[in-house]
Amino acid sequence: MNKAQFLTILRKELRALPQKERDELVEDYEHHYVFGQSAGKSEEEISAELGDPNEIAAEVLAEYEHRNPIQHSISSRNNRSRTIMACIGLFILNFMVCVVPLGLSVWAAWLSLFAGSIIVVLSPFAAIVDFITNDYYGGGKLFASIAMSGIGIMLSIGLFSLGAMLKKVTISYVRWNLSVIRGGK
């Protein structure tokens, strides 16, 4: 790893530090390269001696948080309050707008259509039971129930696809809620 790569990684990993402290630290490491090159070392040798910039940044950040616990607790408090506000907002959105009136209505409509399609598919059996119990054979009834059964099968296939789509939408909505609570967008 050369000097530019090392310093770029170090700057990127130290972005949580205040600008002034980050610049001072990067400048110190630039001086290591200047002194090392004046001693005849290559940039790669100096980088190897300095170590992994990710580990260096992790140590520096841990030390910074240890030295400045008030600043760290303020940011933690801000994160907590932001999470609480996100939960309250999502509660209002979910239970007063989306989940109760809209989501449950859509799922209830799907479930009732699906149950109706299953009943229509089973209509030939109802016609047979009717024939057995009433001792009356109505050919029109039987053929109508078979036609209804075909319609019910087609409706069931469409409702399976619709159910899969509703499931995907519901899962993505739940994931979006979780990402908002965690601080995503």
Is 44 found in the same domain as 18? yes
Domain that holds residue 55: 3-67
Q: Using one digit for the tens of pLDDT, what is the confidence trace for 124-146?
A: 888 888 888 887 777 788 788 88
CB 183 within 8 A of CB 79: yes
Q: Which tokens is 126 given? A: 């109802």
Tokens of 25: 């630290």
pLDDT of residue 100: 73
Domain boundary among 67, 100, 116: 67
162 and 138, same structural domain? yes
pLDDT at 74: 41
Same domain, 174 and 100: yes
One domain for residues 97 and 63 = no
Both tokens assigned to 33: 């390269």
* Residue 58 pLDDT: 87
Which of 101, 123, 119 minimizes the C-alpha distance to 111?
119
In this prediction, residue 139 carries a pLDDT of 77
Residue 138 pLDDT: 73
Helix, coil or strand: residue 77: helix
Residue 18 lies in a domain: yes
Is residue 135 included in any domain, yes or no?
Answer: yes
Give the pLDDT confidence of 60-96 residue by residue, as tens digits. Answer: 888 887 776 555 444 555 667 777 887 888 788 777 7
Handedness of CA 113, 119, 122, 123 (dihedral sign): negative
* 20 and 99 fall within a common domain: no
* Residues 173 and 151 placed together within one structural domain of the fold: yes
Claim to verify: residue 19 and residue 47 sit in the same structural domain? yes
Supply φ then ψ for residue 137, to 5 degrees: -105, 115
> Hunting for tokens 């598919």 — which residue is that?
121
Q: Report yes or no: 3 and 41 within 8 Å, Cβ to Cβ.
A: no
- Among 151, 173, 39, 3, smallest CA distance to 103 is for 173
Residue 112 pLDDT:
95
Q: In this structure, are 8 and 93 located in the same domain?
A: no
How many domains does the structure of the chain reveal? 2
For residue 163, is it within any domain? Answer: yes
Q: Which amino acid, one-letter code, is at 5? A: Q
- Residue 134's pLDDT is 83
- The residue type found at 57 is A
Domain's final residue, options 67, 96, 123: 67
* CB 139, CB 128: distance < 8 Å: no
